[in-house]
Every structure is written in structure tokens, then in C-alpha cells.
Structure 1
Amino acid sequence: MAKVIMVQGTMSNAGKSLIVAGLCRIFKQDGYRVAPFKSQNMALNSYITEEGLEMGRAQVMQAEAAGIKPSVRMNPILLKPTNDIGSQVIVNGEVLGNMSARDYFAYKKKLIPDIIKAYRALEMQSDIIVVEGAGSPAEINLKENDIVNMGLADLLDAPVLLVGDIDRGGVFAQLIGTLMLLEDQEKARVKGLIINKFRGDKTILDPGITMLEDKGRVPVVGVVPYMNISLEDEDSLTSRFDKREAAQIDIVVIRLPRISNFTDFAVFELIEGVSVRYVDSVSQLQHPDMIILPGSKNTIGDLKWMRQNGLEAAVKKKKEECIIFGICGGYQMLGRSISDPYRIEEGGSILGMELLPMDTVLEKEKIRTQVQGGFGELSGLFSELSGMELTGYEIHMGISTADQGSRPLCTLTDVREGNKKADGLSADNIYGTYVHGLFDHGALASVIIRKLAERKGLSMESGLTMDYATFKETQYDKLADTLRQYLNMDEIYRMMNERKSDDERVN
């Protein structure tokens, strides 16, 4: 059986995802076959596998760190919030349906066989599995029927590392308070504590660590410094949304209430002299070089939100002075209308922004596929993209029909089925597509920034110094190097070797 280690946190955004990714890279470097696992993820950033199945992007990032292809077995349950009290429930990459929080809480234990089956499949091909929890194991109102923290640790007989975030303050109370709220058998599973995101002189922290170990009766296995790592973070608490200062080339992403897959734009943040700002009011818009309408889990609702707060009108006024680019739900918004005859979102129809000549109907079946292809003959500032290759993936419920004679943005091939189709539209300096991840491919992002710079009379020839995939590999290695320095890896290996035999495990 595979060895296992589980990383839980005192709260959301304590750094679990990056610790898991770093451990995956360390174990890979040490010669082991390693895989990440998270039984249940709540996120609007998702990904489509080669099989056309949907999973959370955090586990995709961790799979990249482990050097393996992403698989839905790494994230058998994905919850995509549709409103404040409900989510779309995705099991093994397929949509199960929409549920309220209360209904899902009552239902979720029925998904334990799916969780165990996915985990067992990973075990067949792995030497080590690094499991990530969700939120905090000390949410006492949610502990009944838990399938993602201590309940899962018990099912898998997993030793647990508990991570606290010192950057947000109160790390000793976080860790001791969490331990105090655990049942005795749960606390016994916690084999090590990690203080994460530390800044400063560790010797000042040492007396507190001694007291923490005395009171908690659990050793501190690492004090990890705050790391400047450019990797994907949790979508609900990302610091990317806080950036306000415009650079030489200023890209604005409309921060929709149900924004999804904002990972599409991370590549631009790596180019010197470029700012990526997420705005949710007209006053924040300023004078960008490009406005991006991102994906949305509730396109009609988010378009209404833009209409009500004035952002729709403000964006339309900018069409003569900057590029407007829509991705997925943002692309749908750019059309003339969006209809929802099956009440996939809110029902009814809504007028679009009328910037592209097409209409969208939200259908019952979700389109999920990886694609590759090339740009068509484009007009406007990005005409240089014409003929360039692209890759990415589609996740959407709608079908958009363009006017005859309109200019498609690209031609795509479904990687799994081999079917070809036209996708997206371009009209002057307004562009739209269903393809997520297209900016990550090759020199595309650098070309876009260079053209935006030329429009302003600037020279930005350097762009990215390497392709995005290569850059991420350097970040995974940097993450692993840092964790090796500050974690007691000998102790972590020892924890994994102390598990019960296969016959003793809880199945």
C-alpha cells in the first residue's frame, strides 16, 4: 500500500495547498511515485482532464509538482458555488446536480465509496499520497459526517500535519485552539505542527515554540518562511484581488461576484512592467490597456451585477481606447443576448453587451473538453496572432451562435474526439472565446503585451524569459528547496512509516 501524509490547516488559506505541492515535489525528487489527493474541494477555478472530466485546479497544480498528469481521482468531489447557500456538485468529474448547503451536508456521506474508490486507484500507481484537508478540522458544527479532514484521516489511517498561518496573527491560539477542539482520537492523529508564512528572526519565536509544544504535546516540525512563489492559490482568499497599482501596461480583470478560472491571467503577472488588477467598481477602472471579462459560474447574474453598478456601461465606453477580451462567461456577456430556457442559472433571457454579433443559449449539458488549434485571420490590434497555435480547455453550459459572415477567433480540435469547430469572435479590438488557459501557450502572452506596448509607443520586447510551463517548474523546485530547508523531512518520513498494516486499516 502507498504511504500517506495528510496536511490540514487551522483555517482556510493557511498554506495547505502549497505545502502539499512542495511535499509532492520533494518526494518526486527523492525518487518516489507521488500523487496529491483532496476528497472534496470547493472552488470556482477548475480544469478539464484529457478524459473530459472536471476537477479543481489546486490538485492540477499539485499534480504538476508531482510530475504526473492530473486525474479526477485526485479530487473526486468538486463543489462550485452558484450562490451564497448552494453549489453545483461534481462527482468523479461529472455534474451530479445543484444542492443547497443543507441538502449537501445531509447527502455527502453517501459519497464515501466514491472517495475510497478514487483513493484506492491512486494507491495502485503511487508510492506516496499527499492528502490535503479543507478549511479547519475544528469546525465543530461540521464535524458530523466529515469526509475531508479528520473523518478522512481516520478512513485512510493518515498521520496529520497541522499548519498555522502566523502572517495573519494568533498562530499559537490557532494551533492550540484547534488541538483543544479535537476529540482525543483525532488529536492523536496530529503528528506535527507547522508554523507557516513566518517573517523575521526565528530566535524571537523559539520561546513560543517551546510553550506550544508543552501545551499541545505535539512537536513543531517546521517554521516555514513567507515565500515569494508564483503559483496558483486558493480562489476564495487569493491576494491577487488586492492589487491596485497600475504599471506601464495595465490589464484590468472585472472581478465578477462568481468569477471563475482567474488562473487564466496569471501568466501576465510574470511579465515585467505589467499589472493585472481585479476591479469591482467604476472608480477602480481607470485607464487600462486591456479589459478582460473572465469566466463566471452565474453569467446572467454577474451581467446583471455589472449593469447595476455601472461597470457594463463603463466598459462599453472604453471600447475605442482599449482592448476588450471575454473568456467563457465573459465571452457570452459580450454578445447580444443570453437565454436560459432550462433554468440552468436564473431562467429567462437577458440582453447582452452587444459588442459581438452572437447569441447564447444555456443548455442542460456541460461542455468539457481539452482543445488545440490556431487563431484565424484576426482584425484589430491583435492581428499578429493570426495563425498562431493555441491550446486550452472548455468548461461551459452555453452554446453561442454567431451571425453568418462574422469572424471566428480560432479553429479548434477536440483532443479526445477529434472534432473540429470554429470558436469565438473578433470584431475590431473586441475578442471573445470559450477557451480557458489559452494565454499560457507559447509566446502568446508576450505577443499580446508587446502589441499593447506598441500602441502606447513603448518597447517591451523582453516579455517572458521562458515559457509558462518551464517557469512553473522553477517555482516547484524553489518551493521544494525551501521546505527541505525549514521542515524536518526525516521526521515526516518517520510518521509515514509508522502506519498500521493493511489488514488493520479502516476501510
Structure 2
Amino acid sequence: NYDVIVIEGAGSPAEINLKQDDIVNMGMAKRAKAPVLLCGDIDPGGVFAALYGTVKLLDSDEQERIKGLIINKFRGDITILEPGLKQLEELTGKPVVGVVPYMDVDLDDEDSLSERFTRKKKAGLVDIAVIRLPHISNFTDFNPLQRMEAVSLHYVRKASELGRPDLIILPGTKNTIEDLKWLRESGLEALILRHASSGGAVVGICGGYQMLGKLISDPYGVEGGGDVRGLGLLEADTVFEQEKSRTRVSGRVLNAEGIFSGLAGAEFEGYEIHMGITKPIVKPFSMLSKDGAEGPDGLVSGNVWGSYVHGIFDKAGFTQRFVNCILKSKGLDEDSGALDWAQYKQAQYDILAEGVRNALDMSFIYRILEEGDSFAL
């Protein structure tokens, strides 16, 4: 049981062309009998029109469900905004609960909206290229690496952007087969294979791990059906099943080879969320504990390894050893700059929470929480 459940919408609640099938915005609020706070992002401009237009495009019963308005990401002197806030309240009949300032906090991004994809490449002793697949998912797996001073991590969409990295990572994807075809057509597959054949390190996570094998089969049409040849860097095949695996895991590196030999015995935590089963697991990368049982995960072959575990770089000890393996292979001194990612993220969310709390009329919000659907303006 929880004291409070927050339901976050997706997109605009006033997409009138999609309204009849809405199950994530006002449709969900109706079903849950939940009061609504409507939040507008001032950063791109037009926030007054967006909030006013959204309220007025809703049905009367939906308008009644909105208990207040919030403006987010404001920069500057709030006194300049105040006349507009007053007029917005008069026009909509809804109180402005607060104006949240733009805050410099490092939060996980939504997959398709991240600025990390286009961020300028920084100088670092270890050069890591993450392939920016068209359907990339869970790319926040690599945020702990990106925060390390010794690491230069960048996302690659074109063959011309790859350069000569120390490590290539194939990330998770929402559509492994389509992204594997794209990888082939873009010319990046040939460069990855050339990199691996010359002793370069390659790591695959989840869908990226599946791509590293010899064959991907989709007998149930999960991703359209058929068979697709993999990169062939790992001796295994993947078959998509109808049931998705979702579970928290902890693990320990079982087999580590090549430049990653220093990872042997390293412990990590994370989660699995995937459709496929990959086998045979002749030389597993790790041994996992999940759902009260132990089992092998991933495969390793020289400087290439793959795993189904998302969040594998969240523990500082594992990530530090991982980066130090690459530094050692280059004849460089070991680094000690890895963060405990769970603690770091908690600290960032604490900063955000404090900023939001200070910006909003919390007594008003607590009234809404106490009275729920019966709250009246």
C-alpha cells in the first residue's frame, strides 16, 4: 500500500483527434477518479496559450477534474511573469499552484528526447562509442560511464561518426530485428566487425547482445517474423518467445577474457526486460541470481561480451573495474572516478524534490490529496 500514487500522463491531454481512445491522460484520470494538476513547460515558449488551450479543449467534466496549473522550467525574475499568471487564472478559472524554476539537475532522460545523443564529445582517456539505434531503449544504462572524467562516451548514428574508439557498445532496442537491418544498411556493421577482427572491444546489452550472435529467429511474429543473420561475434542464436522476461537480478562475472580479464569475480545488479532466449551458453559471461534461483547469463569471446542485464554499470565497483580494464590495455594508469550511481541519482532527485517543494503551494496540494476526487475549487 502507498500513501500517494502519482499518475503521469503521456503527451497532451487535449489531443482531440485521439481522445476517444485515450487511456493515459484524462481517460486514465476519469477511471481512477483522480484529481489533475496540469503542467506546462515554459522553456520552448507559448506556455500561457498551451495551458489555456488545453483547458478549453477539454469537456466540461474533464475541466472540473483539473484542480490547478503549474508552470515548469522558468528562468529569470518571476515578478515579470506574475501579471500573466493572474490573467491565466481569470481566463481558465484554475489557480496557478506554482512556478518551478529551471534546475541544473542530472536526471535520466526519456529515450527519444535526450540531449545526450547530440552532446559535444569531450576529451577522455577511454573512447567509448554507443551505437544510436533507431529504436534505442534503456540508453540510461551508460550514464554512469558518461559521468566519469576518464571516459569520453558519444552516440554514433552514421558510419562517418564512429572514428577509432576503444570500445563499441550495442545498446538495448525496442526492435532488435529492424535495428539489426539498419545497422547492416548504414555501413556500421562492417565497421564493427572490422573493429572486432583487429582486437577491438565490443559489448552488447540486451538487444545489442542478441545482435552479436549468429542468428535471430522470430517464429511467433513478435517483431514481424522470420530469421535474420546476426553479427556472428558470439556463438549463439536467439529465439523470440511470446512471453517477456521482467525481473530484478544480481550477478557475478564468471568468465572474463582478453582485455576484460580483470572483471573476473566482479559483482553487479540490474534488471532484465526482454523477449528472447539466447543459447547455447557455452561460456557464460556471468552467473545471475533471480527469482530465488541461479542461472548463467550472457556470453564471452575474447574482447567481446554480451549480457541481458540493464543497469549493469550502476554499481561503482563494477564500472571502475570495467574502465580500468580498458585503461590497462592502453598502458595507462588505473582511474578511481566511478560514482555509486544509486546514491548519485538519489542526490539529484533530492535536489529536484526540494526545488519543486519550494516552488509549489504544498498546502494546496495536500488539500487535494486529502479530499481527492471530491476536492472543489
* 1:457 to partner: Cα distance: 4.7
TM-score of the two chains, using structure 2 as the length reference: 0.91
Residue of 346, 359, 373 corresponding to 2:224:
346
| 1:211 matched to 2:87 | yes
Q: CA RMSD in A?
A: 2.3
Shift of 1:145: 4.4
| Residue pair 2:288, 2:297 contacting (<8 A) in 1 also | yes
- Asked if the contact 2:43–2:73 (Cα under 8 Å) also holds between the matched residues in 1, the reply is yes
By how many angstroms is 1:332 displaced?
Answer: 1.3
Instruction: Answer whether contact 2:180 2:211 (CA < 8 A) is retained.
Output: yes
Pick closer, same or farther for the CA change 1:317–1:223 going to 2, 3 Å. Answer: same
Encode CA deviations 1:218-240: one digit per residue, 9 max, x unaligned.
22221112222223232232222
Pair 1:129 & 2:5 matched: yes
Q: 1:409 to 1:209 in 2, by over 3 A?
A: same
3-state SS in 2 of match to 1:469: helix
User: Conserved in 2, the CA contact under 8 Å of 1:449 and 1:463?
Assistant: no
Partners of 1:275 and 1:351 in 2: CA distance:
31
* Secondary structure at the counterpart of residue 130 of structure 1: coil
Change (3 A) 1:185 1:398: closer
Partner secondary structure for residue 392 of structure 1: strand
Matching residue of 2:359: 486
State which of 238, 247, 260 in structure 2 corresponds to 1:360.
238
Q: Kindly, what percent of the aligned residue pairs are identical? A: 53
Tell me the alpha carbon deviations over residues 27-49 of structure 1, each in whole angstroms, 9 at most, x when there is no partner.
xxxxxxxxxxxxxxxxxxxxxxx
Residue 324 of structure 2 corresponds to which residue in structure 1? 450
Question: Of residues 486, 491, 495 in structure 1, which corresponds to 2:368?
Answer: 495
Task: Determine the C-alpha separation between the residues in 2 that align with 1:275 and 1:205.
Answer: 40
* 448-457 or 430-439: bigger deviation: 448-457
Partner of residue 93, structure 1: none
**What is the rounded CA distance, in whole Å, between the counterparts of 1:387 and 1:152 in structure 2?**
46
Q: Which residue of 2 aligns with 1:264?
A: 141
Distance 2:217 2:262 in 1: 34
Range 256-265 or range 229-238, more displaced: 229-238
Distance apart, 1:442 and its partner CA = 4.3
Q: 5+ unaligned residues in a row in structure 2: which ranges?
A: none
Q: Matches of 1:143 and 1:349 in 2, distance apart?
A: 38
SS of equivalent residue, structure 1 residue 291: strand
Count of paired positions: 373
Distance across 1 between alignment mates of 2:77 and 2:217: 58
1:197–1:227 contact (8 Å) kept in structure 2? yes
- Structure-to-structure mapping, 1:182-331, within 5 angstroms: 182-248=58-124, 249-319=126-196, 320=198, 322-331=200-209
Q: State whether structure 2 residue 300 is matched by structure 1 residue 426.
A: yes
Question: Take 1:471 and 1:139, find their aligned partners in 2: how far apart are those partners?
Answer: 37
Distance 1:166 1:340 in 2: 44
Distance in 1 between residues matched to 2:261 and 2:233, nearest whole Å: 18
CA positional deviation for 1:175: 1.0
Alignment of 1:69-108 (within 5 A): none
CA deviation vs aligned residue, 1:181-215 (integer Å, no higher than 9, x gap) = 11222222222211111222223322322332232
Cα 1:149–1:340 shift into 2, 3 Å: closer
3-state secondary structure, aligned to 2:54: helix
User: 2:199–2:303: 8 Å Cα contact kept in structure 1?
Assistant: no
Specify the code of the residue in structure 1 equivalent to 2:169: I
Cα 1:397–1:127 change in 2 (3 A) is: closer
In structure 1, the gaps of 5 or more residues are 1-124, 503-507
- Amino acid paired to 1:203: T
1:440 corresponds to 2:307: no
TM-superposed CA distance for 1:137, in Å, is: 1.0
3-state secondary structure, aligned to 1:367: strand
How much does 1:501 deviate? 6.3
TM-score by length of 1: 0.69
Which amino acid in the other structure matches residue 245 of structure 1?
A: K
CA shift at 1:464, angstroms? 2.4
Partner residue in 2 for 1:416: 291
Moved more, 379-388 or 276-285: 276-285
Question: In the alignment, residue 300 of structure 2 is paired with which amino acid?
Answer: S
CA contact (8 A) 2:261 2:325 kept: no
In structure 2, C-alpha distance between the alignment counterparts of 1:183 and 1:456, rounded to whole Å: 64
CA contact (8 A) 1:301 1:346 kept: no
The answer on 1:156 being equivalent to 2:156 is no
Please list the CA deviations of residues 378-412 of structure 1 after superposition, one character each: whole Å capped at 9, or x if unmatched: 11111111011222222222222247xx5321122
C-alpha separation in 2, matches of 1:159 and 1:365: 35
Decide whether the 8 Å contact of 1:450 with 1:463 is kept in 2.
Answer: no
- Following the alignment from structure 2 to structure 1, what is the Cα–Cα distance between the partners of residues 246 and 90? 51
